Structures are given as C-alpha cells and as structure tokens.
Structure 1
C-alpha cells in the first residue's frame, strides 16, 4: 500500500480509520460481486477508480494472497487468503440470528407485523413471528404450516426451489386438507413473474382483510435460506403505502442475504 495515502478518516477516535484500507475493500468488494475473474479494466470500471490506482491495490492483494493473477490471461480473482477468511467467517455465522435481527429491523422500520418461514418436508413452516403496532387477529403460531399455492410465502418458495422438492409438498398439503384443490401448480409465467418482481404480494390469502408481502433470503452460495414476510391490514396496503412496504421488505431481504454471504444479495437462480 502507498503509505502516503494512509490518511485517517472519520470524525473522532471512535470512527477514525485508514483511507487506503477502505479503498482497498472497494476493490475486494468488486470481486465479491463479480461472477468470475476480472481484468484491470473491469475492476477500474466497477470501482470508478483510475487503472493506475487500481493496479497498485491489485499488486498488493496478489502479494498478500487475497487475489491471484492468471499468468496466461492476466485476469485477477480471489485468492487463497480470501478463501480462508471467507470459510472462517461462514463457520462462525449464525444464520438464524442474522435473519432474525433483520426481521426485527423490518418490524421497527415499518411498524407492521413480520414473520419468517423456512422449508420443511411438508412445505414452509413459521419459525419467527413479531407483532407490529397494528393489531392483527391471526390463528398462526410458531410451527404452523403455510399453504404453498395461495400465500405469498408459499409462492416465493415455489419460485425459488426446484419443483422436485416442492411438488411432493404440494401433494401432501392437498392430501391433508381433505378438500379438492382449486389448482395444483403455478404455471411458468407466474413463477417467472415472482422472480422478476423480487417480492410477492397477496391479499386476503389466509385471513380475510390481511395482506402479505414476502421476499426470499439467500445464503452462500445462492441457496434459499428462508422467506421473510410483512403482514398488514388491507387498508394499510394501498397505493403508495404498498409500494413503499414492498421496497422495505425487499431491501431488508437483500441486506440479510448479503450478510449471509450471497454475493448478489438475493437475485439467485432457482
């Protein structure tokens, strides 16, 4: 690193840091967000830094093992030191706690009731529930099974899990319900729409007058970990309020996914 550029930044002892280290992290983050090796030009574009400046950081990271450079192509990629750090960090990560903290943040941000579901052999089950400021009369409790076809939670799982996993659960739920199913599957257009929308909205799906917005949470490497959901009265989910709530749910889902190590946040292929 260029010691002349190691300037202290921040407003005081609590926030002081070394500027060159923070700039270096921008370079490493570009590799974390990339799907593969990168050229000097690509790193320069991704970081909005001059190639000459980027090259100095790349050279230092190669010497430290954070990056490697292919002798034939000249491309750079994450190196053995970065892999060791990543494995150590993932080994110490409590994914459920990370997701739960994000869920609490969503509740405090919106004031609405929030919940989290994970996958089981019988479909989604509720594992966390936090009530909001608006009272909702719901029969759900921790451990409740969530219908797949008609709820925002269920549809999100259907969109991001392989059909080989979800189809047996759909059949089991229909068998246990004891009533003829209104439909047996979501068509491809519906699944594509859910994935492209980033969140799923349903109105009065389980409880009349209660709407829900669900978004997927991913962990490395792009595995669906859970689905977080915001629930509110139908009158609270109209027009601009609905748009804002969807943006907030999506933002928190992305934050959790990034913290769990999903490089792209949460736009992962099923």
Structure 2
C-alpha cells in the first residue's frame, strides 16, 4: 500500500488563520484573550499574529474597546471570492449525487437572453428516450423550470421574454400567480406533460449570496415517478441539493427560509448567458 506524500506547507500561516477563523465565526468584535482561547493558543502568540494582520488590513481594532474584528481587506477578499463563484461548477457535485439518489434526470438552468436556459445536466435512466440538451431554452410558462423564474424574478426581467410568448397578457399573469402560489406552498414548481408528453418535472430555486435568484435545479422523468404534489423524499432531496449550492454561493439562510410568497425586487440574476 502506498502512502501519499503530504504536500509541503507553511504551518505558521495555518496557525495564524485559526485566529481569522475565530473572527469570521464571531457575531461581534472580541478581546484578544477570547480570540486566543478560541483559537487554542497563548495570548502572547496571538498578539504577534494580530499585529501582522492589522498591518495587512485583515483585522481591525476598535481604538476605544481594543477589541478585534475583521478588517477592510478581509471584506475585499470575501467580495472577490463571491465574484469568482460559478453556480454551474458548484452545482455539478450536488446534481450528480441527486441523480444517483433519486434515479431521475437532473438539469440546471439559468436566465438567458431568451429565457430559462439549460447549462448543465445529469441524465437518469429513462424508459423512453428523451434528449435534454445543454443550451436548450425551456418554455417560460409551461415548464417547471420556467415557472421558478416566473415566481421569483422581477416583472421587469420577465417582460421582454413574455412579450415574445404567443399568449394574452391576462393568461400570462394567471400563470405567474399560479407559479407564485405553488412556490409559496412547497418551495418548488411542477409541470405535468406540458413540455414532453408522459413526462413530468419538478424544479427548485438556487440563490446567490445576496438572495438573488441564481439558477433552478430540475428533476424530470416519467410522470408516474415524479411527485407532482410537491412532497416526498425526492422533493426534499432536490431542495436539499439546491440549499447546498445556495450555501456554497455564500447565502447563510437556506433557500427554503427565503420569503417565497412575496419575492423581493432585488432578486435579480447573479448570472446570465446567451442562448
């Protein structure tokens, strides 16, 4: 049996960032003694690290209380990290696990200039061939995926796409209200044989760090295998997968904790694509 050689590393950096981890987890500024205790090191040693972190801007110290908190450079690093997050990359692992767990096909969609656009997929075993292609634009009003965007996107973003749909504005408004009610009840939207005859789908939202709708993840399969009541194990696993990606995107609150019945106007897209 071979033992993988440990990569070389600088231990002092790892030790020092235990202090940063303490500050990141704290809800308020902390005195040096408390920070050192939580990091498991002597206060004298912690102080040396804190001096360096202060110089770099990773840490800031309140001149009145002498307590420490994260500094401006730490904020810049956090924002830079959020800018570099890619919902597609973050979703691939959870999508694969979800597909293997429930046995249905899974696809991920974001809002493109033509509407809900599939950007990643994990195919399940379907008794009847049905091709799900990356880059395919899904119907806004009739697909489970489209109904997630109808329920949660601001009207201003929906309007250009709805203008192209061959239906009356009254009919479109009725579908939007129905999608909002469904999302409010179960945190998911469904579609029964509206896109492909004999197949059904159920879709849930993924949010970014600000609470903006970033994508939707959708389960699709033969209608007898899809829980169209919006309940059951498969639905809970779908929502758990979306919640996992939401947290990876930097959102502390679970997607299901967000107010779905009255979507916030700031839920604009974190990313768009050309369809």
Q: TM-score range by the shorter chain?
A: 0.5 to 0.7
2:172 corresponds to: 184
> Residue 143 of structure 1: which of 135, 138, 141 is its match?
135
Q: Matched residues in 1 for 2:130 and 2:171: separation?
A: 25
Moved more, 133-142 or 180-189: 180-189
Note the aligned Cα RMSD (angstroms): 4.2
Alignment of 1:103-252 (within 5 A): 103-138=95-130, 140-173=132-165, 175=166, 183-185=171-173, 186-188=175-177, 190-195=179-184, 197-238=186-227, 243-252=232-241
- How far apart are residue 122 of structure 1 and its match? 2.1
- How far apart are residue 215 of structure 1 and its match? 1.1
1:95 equivalenced with 2:84 (yes/no): no
Q: Matched residues in 2 for 1:229 and 1:260: separation?
A: 18
Q: Matched residues in 2 for 1:249 and 1:106: separation?
A: 7
- Secondary structure, in 3 states, of the residue corresponding to 1:172? coil
Normalising by structure 1, we get a TM-score of: 0.67
Q: Matched residues in 1 for 2:209 and 2:50: separation?
A: 24
- Secondary structure, in 3 states, of the residue corresponding to 2:89? helix
Whether the 8 Å contact between 1:62 and 1:68 is mirrored in structure 2 is no
- How far apart are residue 156 of structure 1 and its match? 0.5
Q: Matched residues in 2 for 1:140 and 1:239: separation?
A: 20
Moved more, 255-264 or 94-103: 94-103
Alignment of 1:63-102 (within 5 A): 64=53, 78-102=70-94
Whether the 8 Å contact between 2:62 and 2:68 is mirrored in structure 1 is yes
CA deviation string 1:81-132 (max 9, x = no partner): 4313313433553432222233222212222111111112221122222211
Distance 1:70 1:184, change over 3 A: farther
Moved more, 74-83 or 149-158: 74-83
Larger relative contact order, structure 1 or 2 (CA cutoff 8 Å, min sep 6):
2
- How far apart are residue 228 of structure 1 and its match? 0.9
Q: Matched residues in 2 for 1:212 and 1:72: separation?
A: 58
Whether the 8 Å contact between 2:108 and 2:120 is mirrored in structure 1 is yes
Normalising by structure 2, we get a TM-score of: 0.66
| Structure 2 residue runs without a partner (length 5+) | 7-14, 259-263, 268-275
Distance 1:239 1:190, change over 3 A: closer
Q: Matched residues in 2 for 1:234 and 1:23: separation?
A: 50
| Structure 1 residue runs without a partner (length 5+) | 1-12, 15-19, 32-36, 41-49
Q: Matched residues in 1 for 2:23 and 2:69: separation?
A: 9
* Number of equivalences: 238
1:255 corresponds to: 244
Q: Matched residues in 1 for 2:18 and 2:225: separation?
A: 43
